[in-house]
Amino acid sequence: MDSIIPEDTVTFILVYVWAIFAVAWYAWFFFFKPNHKLPPGPPGLPLFGNLLSLDPELHTYLATLSRTYGPVFTLRLGTKYAFVFTSPSMARQVLKDQDITFANRVVPIAGEKATYGGRDIVSNSYGPEWRMLRKVCVFKMLSNLTLDSVYTLRRREVRKTVGFLYSRVGYRVNIGEQIFLTVLNVITNMMWGETVEGGERTVVGAEFRDVVSGITEILGTPNISDFFPGLSWFDLQALERKIMVLAKRLDRIFEKMIDRRMKMNRESESRGEESKDFLQFLLKLKDEQDPKTPLSMIHVKALLMDMVVGGSDTSSNSIEFAMAHILNNQEVMKRVQEELDSVVGRHNVVEESHINKLPYLLAVMKETLRLHPALPLLVPHSPSETTTVGGYTIPKASRVFVNVWAIHRDPSIWDNPLEFDPSRFLDANKWDYSGKDFSYFPFGSGRRMCAGIAMAERTFLYFLATLMHSFDWKLPEGQKLDVSEKFGIVLKKKTPLVAIPSPRLLDPALYE
């Protein structure tokens, strides 16, 4: 249908709105600008600030700016201020010394639409509701005890992938795609177990892949509404409308699974049985809720959303980077496979019980996350009050980015920082994921550090160990391997990893 508003009228409205914002910006900048000592930063244009000069590879661009403007600098993004911290000492001040002050999040408008109004653990403001969700995730849903109880659900999906790869022996395989599909299937299988079976599992999985890919793409797209809130009503890029469509599709799946699970629970209770999956666990917690900070059905769905959107891309991309580096370094590949053969043997398949006996594989994971942290700028923080960091004023509600990617590659901290060298992590007592050392904190630090570290570690190590133990891998003839990155809400490999598998195990029955 043609628009009922003439094109020249639309143009006039946009120019008029732009002029109003320009006048307001000049008035604020020259007459009403608060007398704060802000960090230095690159000069910007009127109204737009530094928006138009941002490079798509934002993590590397910000690292370059830090070499000119220092370990903390200012960017003006439309009407908003952003501050970038790029040194261990500055990161410590934000994430430890003033942890509570910086414990809030900056939630993009599209992200709020996708997370039930920001009711999930990632977006929620610091307070009683967030503390309740954090407790549910860290101490209950994602605890080692709970993860142990759903191991068979993870194992089933990994063994399916091994069988598929065995059917592709001698042929090219898009490793990144298969890793993503497996991780997504692992997560959804842990979420609702036997609630879906057979052919329906494939259909639901395909819809999840479509929705998750769409949501992550939108969340990684700069939205003018975030930088000029006065224009948010217009939704000029239609990002909010698009993500609402995707979020409603996901919500319908959640509703369907919740209804089925509740019906299955009633039937199981009559037989004295109990299912084990995350959805069952969350519904049980909901029924046993604390009246002061209750776990509602919205919270249940928001946590499921975090699991599927936050857990699939991060783990799968990290595993793909690790595989690429291993294929690119024959010495690393040899050490990984020798360790696996020694611990597991070639007459057996990898089980999660083997993981704690594979220190070199753990070092591979740590080195992968050093070079390619899943969230290179972490999740943006926002101070709840105006404060001072490094002698500079950081205004309330501004955006704060910690460039962990740049810190992990700082030559003053790391020897040969661009070299993939897992042996630097073989001293297990020196580096961990606790976030206490601000030279290495791939999962963040402080109150808002990643709640899913235990699951991420298990997923990464179990799947990578299985791939390297079950198969030898080689690149297609004439193909060169590169490990270059593409910036997004989650760091991705710029070109998909394609490789050819050949079997390593001595008994073909182990591939069934």
Query: Any idea which residue has 């089925």 for tokens?
Result: 260
C-alpha to C-alpha distance for 389 and 73, rounded to whole angstroms: 11
Q: Are 193 and 204 in contact (CB under 8 A)?
A: no
Output the six-digit token pair for 178.
């298969």
Residue 137 marked ligand-binding = no
Read off the tokens for 14.
Answer: 């946009």
For residue 275, the tally of other CB atoms under 10 A from its CB is 15
What are the phi and psi torsion angles at 76 (to 5°)?
-105, 115
Cα–Cα distance between 109 and 151 in angstroms, integer? 36
* Structure-block tokens of residue 296: 């509602």
* Residue 41 and residue 15 in contact, taking contact as beta carbons nearer than 8 Å: no
**Is 409 within 8 Å of 421 (Cβ atoms)?**
no
The rounded distance, in Å, linking the Cα atoms of 106 and 126 is 12
CB 98 within 8 A of CB 393: no
Strand 104-105 and strand 485-486: pairing? unpaired
Report whether 304 contacts 142 (CB < 8 A). no
**Distance (Å, rounded) from C-alpha 221 to C-alpha 60?**
17
What the block records as the tokens of 347 is: 């007459």
Long-range Cβ pairs for the range 494-497 (8 Å, 24+) = 496/174, 496/175, 496/176, 496/177, 496/320, 497/174, 497/175, 497/176, 497/320, 497/323, 497/324, 497/327
Residue ranges for the known binding site are 450
Residue ranges for the known binding site for heme are 450
